[in-house]
Amino acid sequence: MDWLLAARMQANCLARPVDEAGPGGVADVVRRTGGLQAQAWRGAAYAVRARSTATTFADVSHAQETDRSVVRGWFMRGTLQLVAVEDAGPLLGLLGPKAIKDTERRYGELGLTKAIRAEAADRLEAHLLSHGPSTRTQLAEVLVKAGLIEEPKGQAVYALIRYTGLLGRLCYGPGYDKDETWVAVSDWLGKPLVLEGDVETLARRYLAAYGPATARDFATWSGLPVPVARRAVQAAATKSFDVEGVELAAIDDLPGCRDVRLLGEFDAYLLGYQDRRQALAAEFHQQIHPGGGMLRPAVLEAGRVIGSWRHADRSYELFDAGARTDLAGELADLARFAG
């Protein structure tokens, strides 16, 4: 099992293969991994650091806001991701309809009929094309004035923003956290997205970044139905391995990375598989997954989670209190990255 985790760590770029500084380095990381989880902007930024040697926190914002080589929106599993601009259309073409379908029950609970959602998408896009980057409060006012929702503070606002994003018509613009804004995709990127993607190509890229893995792992990561994922993985894989009776597919046979790495919150490495027990022992699960959908920053060694750490003060706690793991280099690089 040790070889498997080390191979996955290397596949997921945690050997830090990207040495380019600036937004180019950020985009390279995002392309190699197929996208980074980004519901927490800080988590996405630190995921870039863990996979590169010369980027900075400011570079991540620059890549998204100025260079616009990466896009923040709703992609795999209908969750917030940071993806390469050229991947946004193909991903939404493959995954957007399924994410919308999976949200139908919630739309119903919020009273958001298909007609309301369609008009909301038109109204939001038109406002963004006319006014540029807009906050949630501003977009809520648009929806209230149009009579599509009754009050501006409910969950329906975000649901309609996300719906429009899944159609490929808006994405995140300048700012993050409390200062986040949204923009019209066709204006922000200079042209509309072409929502056409190939599932075999996506499976190949997944295996390159997460393999060896199973078809169910690919389905978990992407949000695609298991039968679709299985056919795509079978077509894309060039190598296979048997691990405890389970067939794992891969593109490459990697020697593996056994380095120590500090992963940020919601790191993609821990979200890429159906079964995370191989990388995170069950007895330590709650220390990384405390509940409420949270995924805390983790200390990783040779592909296995060995502890947790905190962004605020860079303090850490290893599961084995007597371990002599050297984190000095990673801690120093965190300070460099933050600037």
What does the pLDDT profile of the chain (339 residues) look like in tens digits?
799 999 999 999 999 999 999 999 999 999 999 999 999 999 999 999 999 999 999 999 999 999 999 999 999 999 999 999 999 999 999 999 999 999 999 999 999 999 999 999 999 999 999 999 999 999 999 999 999 999 998 999 999 999 999 999 999 999 999 999 999 999 999 999 999 999 999 999 999 999 999 999 999 999 999 999 999 999 999 999 998 899 999 999 999 999 999 999 999 999 999 988 889 999 999 999 998 889 999 999 999 999 999 999 999 999 998 888 999 999 999 999 998
Residue 64 lies in a domain: no
Residue 8 lies in a domain: no
Residue 238 lies in a domain: no
Indicate the residue among 188, 220, 252 that finishes a domain: 188
Indicate the residue among 141, 171, 188 that finishes a domain: 188
Segment (H or E) for 211: none
What CATH number does the domain containing 174 carry?
Answer: 1.10.10.10
Residue 150 lies in a domain: yes
Residue 148 lies in a domain: yes
Residue 155 lies in a domain: yes
Structure tokens at 267: 């790191």
Number of structural domains the chain divides into: 2
List of long-range contacts for 140-143, beta carbons under 8 Å, 24+ apart: none
Residue 175 lies in a domain: yes
Residue 132 lies in a domain: yes
What is the spatial distance between Cα 297 and Cα 319, in angstroms, rounded to a whole number? 13
Of 21, 67, 75, 77, the residue nearest 48 (C-alpha): 21
Indicate the residue among 139, 165, 188 that finishes a domain: 188
The domain of 155 spans 103-188
